[in-house]
Structure 1
Amino acid sequence: MAHSPRHGHDREIETLQEFDAAVARGSLVGHRVQSVDLTGRTPALVSVPTTGAVFLGCPMRPDAAAKVRADGALVFPPVPDLPFDPYRGRLYCPDELFAGLAEQGYERTPDALTYAWFQRTKADGDVFASMLRAVHDDAVSDALDEHLHRARVVGVMGGHAMARGTDAYAGAARLGRSLARAGLTVATGGGPGAMEAANLGAYAAPHDDAMLDDALRLLGKEPSFVPSVGDWARAAFEVRSRWPRGGDSVGIPTWFYGHEPPNAFAAHIAKYFANATREDGLLARCNAGVIFLPGAAGTVQEIFDNATPNYYESRGEPTPMVLVNRTHWTEHLPAWPLLQALAARRSMEPRIALVDSVEEAPEALRRLAAQ
């Protein structure tokens, strides 16, 4: 079967434009139509064959729905009263997740409402809610694959506790900017701290160097998302407003850690309910390597989540891994000696490095990738 460069399946339809193009070709047979509002496309639905098609969360008129069902198509109607679309065909963006922030506060944003729904349904064990979460996460993974098609992706991992206004935060932001300017797509866990800093740096990449310095000063007035997510997020949107048209990067956060909001500097956000799916998916897509900044339990987990497939060579050639801050990774949280021990038993050793400072990380990554 033919494959398109953007979709994994050339019969996937995610926009009205793609729908209209398929109708113009005379058939919707076997197509998958994903979260497209078809209430204005009744004549088209009635006029073309739809045998074997699947309509996922597509609003349509009753007569159109009756006709496509009679053709043998499957129709999964939109689910009412949900704060999210389980069938979505695109990644999130900051404006979508934080919609209503200025008028109603963070608690009424889609991001906060979705987390609240997750907490309620996770507690009551509703199998229908579990299915919706699974469908949503699969749709997000599909959208992420489409977005990153042929991209050279470098992951930047680090702790959420890294505060704005610190030297460490500024260093992580400069790292993100350097990687983006080198033509790499920066991907992070999408949350606060080191993750936000790296996404901020990628956002700053098209601007002059002074922009990042000014943005860091502005953000430093709201150093943490605690105690107010709203104030923390509003500071980020002020930066985006002053310096629009920033560079692209990817954030891959989760509602599993509801106390961690997504950051507003990742232009494309793949937010998941299942943290395990999110963790594995983030690292698996970092085909140009991963840089690990100082962090705690979550970052340690990511180091060995990434090392495991490298050790067993389940992703082909091992991806480069750079750990930043020798003291942190050899004394405070001594992950480096264990990583070295694993690497010595396999073909990983030429692909791992430990550096003292964040400024050394891009060159270390380039060196490892060249081996």
Structure 2
Amino acid sequence: MPTKFTGDACPIIRTIDELWLLSGLKDLTDTTVVDIDLTEVKVKWEDIKIDCTTLFIGCTLSLETELALRAREANFLHVPKVLPFRPIRRNLYTWRELMEGYSPEQDNSADLKIYEHFEFGKRCPSINEALWQRLHDFSIDEGLRRLLDFSPSGLPKRKVVGFMGGHSTARTTEDYRRSLLTAKLLTEAGYFVVSGGGPGIMEAANLGAYLAGRSDEDINWVLATLSKAPTYKDKGFQEAAYAILDRFPDGAESLAIPTWFYGHEPSNLFATYIAKYFSNSIREDTLLAIALYGIVYAPGSAGTTQEIFMDATQNHYVTFDYVSPMVFLGKKRYTEDTQLFPLIEQLAAGRDYAKYLYLTDDPAQVVSFVDAHPPLFVE
């Protein structure tokens, strides 16, 4: 079964110059035109093929033009301007966009406003609200397609490795430090780190990727700076992150895939790209699906345990055509505190992914194992 990201992107015209006007495309049947201001350009609509399968979403054009296109059976969906989020977007989020309006004295960030709007009707959204959220999450899917650039074989051009682990893990713990160093080494080895986008292990992963190439002295300074506000509930949590960004303004790229579903947590400031979803189920499945070069499991609680079994299921049934490494970073957590690693080993017995399971406490060994176990195509 191919991944939803395999092959070409869905037929959406994203920008004026990229796929349409400058290309000379004359056929807009079975096509959706998204978020384009058509009042500033001259289009000879009579020369363009349009029918009932043509859809304009969030586009700006004169009423006269719209009526003429409607007469040719084109469909239109106009996005309300009162929403705190854009249902149709061309790009993934950045932390600057989500943090706009934030100050140490008061959180008036765009991120919080979107969460408050979502929380108000999360359990029973109106059909309009549900539609805007679905369109938004589809836009995020499209953004990931463009960022990762999947080949027809189903592998992304970027070698994506995911990180899972506790969101409440303090910055002063060994688990945080170990995860940071692992992500740093993986990035230096050419892998593209993705996390769930929140604090704890997720922040450690994106921060480790950001610090690729930095010295041990730099890492020690970073950890000392973060120790002033160990958890996201501590005063000065974001300010410690800003101090790191100020000192090291040019970090390596990484990806975060968070959600508004679980509540408002501070945005991860170290991810270059943020694919934030309303739907947590889509978000979790997507994160696991794109990490075809492996997933590193640092210690976590129920959420991490759920993700381990979701990933094991994908490997067990080769859901997306490939078997990928599952690396458990924490011997005590996964063999003493719990029996999760032996259980997954038992489950994998006789399957292709049995050789893709690994348990270690050493960041360097994680890189060596991932290097030695590239995605395995299974027919």
2:330 aligns to what? Answer: 325
What is the 5 A alignment of 1:1-371? 8-9=9-10, 12-18=12-18, 21-22=20-21, 25=24, 27=26, 29-30=28-29, 31-41=31-41, 43-44=42-43, 49=48, 51-52=50-51, 53-102=54-103, 105-106=106-107, 108-149=108-149, 150-227=157-234, 231-369=236-374
8 Å CA contact retained: 2:115, 2:264: no
Amino acid at match of 1:155: G
Q: Secondary structure at the match of 1:369?
A: coil
Relative to 1, partners in 2 of residues 1:63 and 1:240: Cα closer, same or farther, differing over 3 Å? farther
Question: How far apart in 2 are the matches of 1:74 and 1:242?
Answer: 50
Cα offset, 1:186, TM superposition: 0.4
Question: How far apart in 2 are the matches of 1:121 and 1:318?
Answer: 39
Question: How far apart in 2 are the matches of 1:45 and 1:158?
Answer: 54
Question: How far apart in 1 are the matches of 2:61 and 2:183?
Answer: 44
8 Å CA contact retained: 1:115, 1:258: yes
Question: How far apart in 2 are the matches of 1:115 and 1:163?
Answer: 24
Relative to 1, partners in 2 of residues 1:139 and 1:214: Cα closer, same or farther, differing over 3 Å? same
8 Å CA contact retained: 1:34, 1:57: yes
Q: TM-score, normalized by length of structure 2?
A: 0.87
Deviates more, 1:123-132 or 1:82-91: 123-132
8 Å CA contact retained: 1:96, 1:110: yes
8 Å CA contact retained: 1:352, 1:368: no
Question: How far apart in 1 are the matches of 2:84 and 2:224?
Answer: 34
List gaps (5 residues or longer) in structure 2: 1-5, 150-156
Amino acid at match of 1:308: T
Relative to 1, partners in 2 of residues 1:266 and 1:69: Cα closer, same or farther, differing over 3 Å? same
Amino acid at match of 2:24: R
Higher helix share goes to which structure?
1
Q: Secondary structure at the match of 2:270?
A: coil
Cα offset, 1:247, TM superposition: 1.0
Q: Secondary structure at the match of 1:186?
A: strand
8 Å CA contact retained: 1:102, 1:234: no
Deviations 1:42-80 (A, max 9, x none): x33757526143222223332333333334322211222
Cα offset, 1:299, TM superposition: 0.7
Question: How far apart in 1 are the matches of 2:73 and 2:175?
Answer: 58
Q: Which has the higher contact order (CA 8 A, sep 6+)?
A: 2
Question: How far apart in 2 are the matches of 1:77 and 1:7?
Answer: 26
Aligned residues: percent identity? 34
Q: TM-score, normalized by length of structure 1?
A: 0.89
Deviations 1:96-129 (A, max 9, x none): 11111138832x2111111111111124432221
8 Å CA contact retained: 1:50, 1:72: no
State the Cα RMSD in Å. Answer: 2.5
8 Å CA contact retained: 1:92, 1:269: yes
Deviates more, 1:30-39 or 1:293-302: 30-39
Question: How far apart in 1 are the matches of 2:250 and 2:239?
Answer: 18
Amino acid at match of 2:97: E
8 Å CA contact retained: 1:46, 1:67: no
8 Å CA contact retained: 2:175, 2:299: no
List gaps (5 residues or longer) in structure 1: none
Q: Secondary structure at the match of 1:37?
A: coil
Question: How far apart in 2 are the matches of 1:147 and 1:22?
Answer: 23
8 Å CA contact retained: 1:144, 1:270: yes
Amino acid at match of 1:336: F
Question: How far apart in 1 are the matches of 2:261 and 2:145?
Answer: 22
Question: How far apart in 1 are the matches of 2:169 and 2:250?
Answer: 26
Question: How far apart in 2 are the matches of 1:98 and 1:367?
Answer: 39
Relative to 1, partners in 2 of residues 1:28 and 1:210: Cα closer, same or farther, differing over 3 Å? farther
